[in-house]
């Protein structure tokens, strides 16, 4: 796809009028940059197939029936983890996994260009808590964790998977500084406030409640029930910050950036409990890396999705399959109707137990008496750009994560960072941009509708404008842009979501104790560790169910 520059600019500005993108481009100072011809396309999760859930009459009646022991619906990290746990705990039992997309991984999907794989969504795992024995066992089997130091007992991770230096840089006051906590040109009172906040987090990391549990822990259900901490779930993080005299614009930017990066929304839209948990629950340690190290791969967390798939045994995985109905039968089974998009046929699957690992907006359709849980999902844009010149600048060189202060976007990852190719080598470079799109909690559908209706050219204008602000002139060196829009990014832990009654109710078994839900929407915090444990919890429930 390529257009002459003048035609591109005219079309782009006309198409942008009145859309969400117009607002976003307006918030990026500067105009659409010069560029050479850019090849690429706009993709996204299977909206068309997924949206057929809204029009059940358009789906054909079942033409055949299969008897299944254990059925898993959804092949994201939660579903794959459930499949692995079922294989580990009950290897003799037959499990079938159905997935809507052509491949497994869900939000941890990946793509590739001629040079490298790159992530379409989830791209890193912070060092896990060393007490999380089940997660560590998985990582050891996957070759990520290579052993334990005999003296310290701490895990040793594969050096090629630990994010190499330089890990992060921030463009602040025209200079690329090391790390993302603002430092360059930051006035002393702001520095003092940042230091006060980080010192508090250090204390919270070590703090325990009267029940002896950590105040903040991952998976979050292991956190203390401390009566003084849980009420923090009722107020917003922004209100909590104001109440505790945190007003520094630099600190506020850093926190908003962090929350938008993991939850898709800023401090004003998440609970204070979740905002503190974000920092204080991270307590990973390693023998061969500092505590703030992360594990990453060119294809992002798709590496982990594939490892889960390999460790899940030989049970069948059926892709391109939309499950559109679930019901309990009188003979103690759950009947699932599954539409195969390749053959256009529907199969009736009669299962003894079901792990339902779909996002809640899908699960709600499938469970007739689903509780009123309403997760907020911001839409996301992920853009992989092929760039013919080095993305340099003054200060810290190209890093794994590269962020511009005060940008509406979240910066980009260098997809080839782990290849250790050195700096300023010949291009091209593969840069993966992340952008959580602003979402009004009162009308989240509006942002999603705009995101899904926007064109390749509109998104490209936005991304190239942002790239030019980070690296003036570099947009003209972009030769390819593969774009992906997530209509539903990840769950935002809005006030009341994590410890409110709806989440607890939703996690109960459904349809006569035969359907066990597992998805990060059921946790409120969408990170790999939560998905991994959601899957294990549901698998155990399925095997332990009196109806099993
Ligand atoms: C842009 C982006 C960046 C992220 N970055 C990170 C990161 O760096 N690190 C991190 O830890 N986390 C990250 N996350 C969060 C990530 O979502 C979680 O870590 C995790 O992958 C979620 O897994 P899940 O199984 O709970 O959900 P999902 O990934 O949503 O999986 C649900 C699966 O169900 C399938 N499905 C849906 N409906 C049906 C149906 N009717 N029939 C059959 N199948 C169906 C879907 O296709 C999907 O495969 C990111 C998320 C996004 C969107």
Contacts for 539 with CB less than 8 Å, ≥ 6 apart? 81, 82, 83, 85, 86, 89, 355, 516, 518
Q: What is the pLDDT of residues 130-182, one digit of tens each?
A: 999 999 999 999 999 999 999 999 999 999 999 999 999 999 999 999 999 99
117 belongs to a structural domain: no
What is the 309 CA–ligand 1 centroid distance (Å)?
Answer: 15
Indicate if the pLDDT at residue 120 is higher than 90: yes
Question: Does one domain contain both 76 and 129?
Answer: no
Residue among 54, 96, 108 to mutate when testing ligand 1 (max atoms within 8 A of CB):
108
118 belongs to a structural domain: no
What is the 14 CA–ligand 1 centroid distance (Å)?
Answer: 34
Q: What is the pLDDT of residues 494-518, one digit of tens each?
A: 999 999 999 999 999 999 999 999 9
Looking at the CA of residue 124, tell me the nearest atom of ligand 1. Answer: 8
What is the 206 CA–ligand 1 centroid distance (Å)?
Answer: 30
What is the 225 CA–ligand 1 centroid distance (Å)?
Answer: 28
- Taking only Cα atoms into account, the Rg of the chain, rounded to an integer number of angstroms, comes to 23
Looking at the CA of residue 80, tell me the nearest atom of ligand 1. Answer: 25
Classified as helix, coil or strand, 482 is strand
Taking CA atoms only, the protein residue closest to ligand 1 atom 38 is 358
Taking CA atoms only, the protein residue closest to ligand 1 atom 35 is 74
Taking CA atoms only, the protein residue closest to ligand 1 atom 13 is 122
Question: Does one domain contain both 468 and 350?
Answer: no
pLDDT value of residue 286: 98
Q: Confidence band (pLDDT; 50, 70, 90) for 364?
A: very high
CB under 6 Å to ligand 1: residues? Answer: 50, 73-79, 98-101, 106-108, 121-125, 301, 322-323, 357-359, 362, 380, 382, 486, 489-490, 519-520, 526-528, 531
Residue among 84, 107, 522 to mutate when testing ligand 1 (max atoms within 8 A of CB):
107
pLDDT value of residue 494: 98
pLDDT value of residue 10: 34
Indicate if the pLDDT at residue 459 is higher than 50: yes
- Residue finishing a domain among 263, 279, 296: 296
Residue among 96, 121, 347 to mutate when testing ligand 1 (max atoms within 8 A of CB):
121
Taking CA atoms only, the protein residue closest to ligand 1 atom 37 is 358
Taking CA atoms only, the protein residue closest to ligand 1 atom 34 is 74
Tell me the percentage of the chain whose pLDDT exceeds 70. Answer: 92
Residue among 219, 358, 378, 533 to mutate when testing ligand 1 (max atoms within 8 A of CB):
358
CATH of the domain at 414: 3.90.660
178 belongs to a structural domain: yes
Taking CA atoms only, the protein residue closest to ligand 1 atom 7 is 122
Cα separation, 406 vs 297, whole angstroms: 27
- Residue finishing a domain among 296, 313, 340: 296
pLDDT value of residue 17: 32
Taking CA atoms only, the protein residue closest to ligand 1 atom 52 is 121
Question: Does one domain contain both 431 and 502?
Answer: no
Q: Confidence band (pLDDT; 50, 70, 90) for 230?
A: very high
Calculate mean pLDDT across residues 514-526: 97
Q: Confidence band (pLDDT; 50, 70, 90) for 108?
A: very high
Calculate mean pLDDT across residues 398-403: 97
Burial 373-404 (b: 16+ CB within 10 A, else e): bebbbbbbbbbbbbbebbbebeebbbbbbbbb
Q: What is the pLDDT of residues 26-52, one digit of tens each?
A: 555 555 555 558 999 998 876 678 788
C-beta separation of 273 from 229 below 8 A: yes
Classified as helix, coil or strand, 41 is strand
Question: Does one domain contain both 412 and 445?
Answer: yes
* Mean pLDDT for all residues in the chain: 92
> 369: buried, middle or exposed (CB in 10 Å: 19+, 13-18, 0-12)?
exposed
Range of the domain at 185: 124-296
Length of the chain: 548
Question: Does one domain contain both 171 and 201?
Answer: yes
CATH of the domain at 89: 3.50.50.60
Q: Which helix (H) or strand (E) holds 257?
A: helix 249-263
Taking CA atoms only, the protein residue closest to ligand 1 atom 10 is 527
36 belongs to a structural domain: no
pLDDT value of residue 37: 80
Indicate if the pLDDT at residue 424 is higher than 90: no
How far CA 54 is from CA of 126, 138, 365, in Å, comes to: 37, 37, 8
Residue among 52, 74, 161, 529 to mutate when testing ligand 1 (max atoms within 8 A of CB):
74
Cα separation, 55 vs 63, whole angstroms: 19
Alpha helices in 341-471, H assignment, sequence order: 360-366, 444-453, 456-470
Residue among 124, 490, 503, 539 to mutate when testing ligand 1 (max atoms within 8 A of CB):
490
Q: Confidence band (pLDDT; 50, 70, 90) for 362?
A: very high
Tell me the percentage of the chain whose pLDDT exceeds 90. Answer: 84
Question: Does one domain contain both 334 and 386?
Answer: no
Mean pLDDT is lowest, of 352-361, 418-427, 508-517, for 418-427
Mean pLDDT is lowest, of 18-32, 74-88, 148-162, 206-220, for 18-32
Calculate mean pLDDT across residues 361-371: 92
Question: Does one domain contain both 191 and 290?
Answer: yes
- Residue finishing a domain among 267, 296, 325: 296
Question: Does one domain contain both 138 and 239?
Answer: yes
pLDDT value of residue 8: 34
Contacts for 367 with CB less than 8 Å, ≥ 6 apart? 326, 356, 510, 511, 515
Mean pLDDT is lowest, of 8-12, 88-92, 237-241, 367-371, for 8-12
DSSP-assigned letter for residue 415 = T
Kindly report the pTM of this predicted structure.
0.94
What is the 506 CA–ligand 1 centroid distance (Å)?
Answer: 18
Indicate if the pLDDT at residue 1 is higher than 70: no
Question: Does one domain contain both 370 and 385?
Answer: no
145 belongs to a structural domain: yes
Question: Does one domain contain both 257 and 357?
Answer: no
39 belongs to a structural domain: no
43 belongs to a structural domain: no
Question: Does one domain contain both 13 and 145?
Answer: no
CATH of the domain at 172: 1.10.405.10
Domain count, the chain: 3
Q: What is the pLDDT of residues 434-451, one digit of tens each?
A: 999 999 988 989 999 999
Taking CA atoms only, the protein residue closest to ligand 1 atom 50 is 122
Question: Does one domain contain both 288 and 344?
Answer: no
Looking at the CA of residue 77, tell me the nearest atom of ligand 1. Answer: 25
Taking CA atoms only, the protein residue closest to ligand 1 atom 18 is 527
116 belongs to a structural domain: no
What is the 260 CA–ligand 1 centroid distance (Å)?
Answer: 16
Calculate mean pLDDT across residues 191-210: 98
């Amino acid at each position: 796809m390529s257009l002459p520059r003048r035609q591109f600019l005219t079309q782009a500005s006309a198409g942008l009028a009145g859309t969400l993108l117009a607002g976003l481009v307006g918030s990026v100072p500067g105009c659409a940059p010069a560029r050479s011809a850019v090849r690429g396309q706009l993709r996204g999760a299977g909206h068309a197939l997924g949206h057929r859930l809204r029009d059940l009459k358009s789906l054909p009646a079942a033409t055949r029936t299969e008897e299944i022991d254990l059925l898993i619906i959804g092949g994201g990290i939660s579903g794959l983890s459930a499949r692995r746990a079922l294989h580990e705990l009950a290897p003799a039992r037959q499990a079938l996994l159905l997935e809507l997309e052509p491949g497994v991984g869900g939000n941890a999907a990946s793509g590739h260009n001629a040079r490298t794989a790159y992530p379409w969504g989830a791209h890193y795992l912070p060092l896990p808590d060393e007490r999380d024995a089940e997660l560590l066992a998985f990582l050891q089997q996957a070759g990520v964790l290579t052993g334990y130091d005999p003296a310290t007992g701490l895990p040793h991770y594969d050096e090629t998977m630990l994010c190499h230096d330089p890990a992060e840089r921030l463009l602040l006051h025209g200079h690329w500084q090391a790390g993302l906590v603002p430092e360059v040109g930051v006035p002393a009172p702001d520095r003092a406030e940042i230091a006060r906040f980080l010192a508090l987090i250090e204390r919270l990391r070590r703090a325990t409640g009267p029940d002896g549990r950590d105040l903040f822990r991952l998976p979050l259900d292991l956190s203390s029930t401390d009566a003084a901490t849980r009420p923090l779930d009722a107020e917003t993080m922004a209100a909590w910050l104001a109440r505790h005299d945190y007003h520094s614009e630099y600190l506020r930017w850093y926190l908003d950036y962090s929350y938008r990066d993991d939850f898709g929304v800023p401090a004003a839209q998440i609970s204070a409990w979740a905002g503190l948990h974000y920092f204080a629950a991270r307590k990973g340690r390693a023998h061969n890396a500092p505590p703030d190290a992360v594990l990453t791969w060119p294809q992002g967390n798709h590496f982990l999705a594939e490892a889960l798939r390999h460790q899940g045994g030989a049970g069948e995985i059926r892709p391109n399959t939309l499950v559109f109905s679930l019901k309990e039968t009188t003979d103690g089974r759950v009947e699932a109707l599954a539409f195969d998009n390749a053959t256009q046929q529907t199969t009736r699957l009669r299962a003894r137990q079901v792990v339902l690992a779909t996002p809640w907006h899908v699960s709600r359709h499938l469970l007739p008496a689903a509780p009123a849980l309403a997760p907020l999902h911001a839409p996301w844009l992920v853009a992989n750009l092929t760039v013919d010149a080095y993305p340099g600048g003054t200060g810290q060189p190209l890093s794994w994560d590269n962020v511009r202060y005060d940008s509406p976007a979240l910066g980009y990852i260098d997809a080839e960072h782990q290849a250790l190719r050195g700096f300023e080598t010949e291009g091209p470079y593969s840069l993966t941009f992340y952008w959580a799109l602003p979402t009004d909690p009162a009308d989240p559908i509006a942002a999603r509708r705009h995101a899904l209706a926007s064109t390749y050219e509109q998104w490209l204008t936005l991304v190239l404008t942002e790239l030019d602000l980070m690296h003036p002139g570099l947009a003209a060196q972009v030769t390819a842009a593969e774009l992906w829009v997530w209509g539903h990014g990840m769950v935002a832990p809005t006030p009341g979501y994590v410890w409110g009654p709806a989440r607890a109710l939703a996690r109960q078994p459904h349809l006569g104790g035969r359907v066990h839900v597992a998805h990060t929407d059921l946790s409120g915090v969408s990170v790999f560790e939560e998905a991994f444990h959601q899957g294990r919890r549901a698998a155990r429930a399925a095997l332990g169910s009196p109806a099993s």
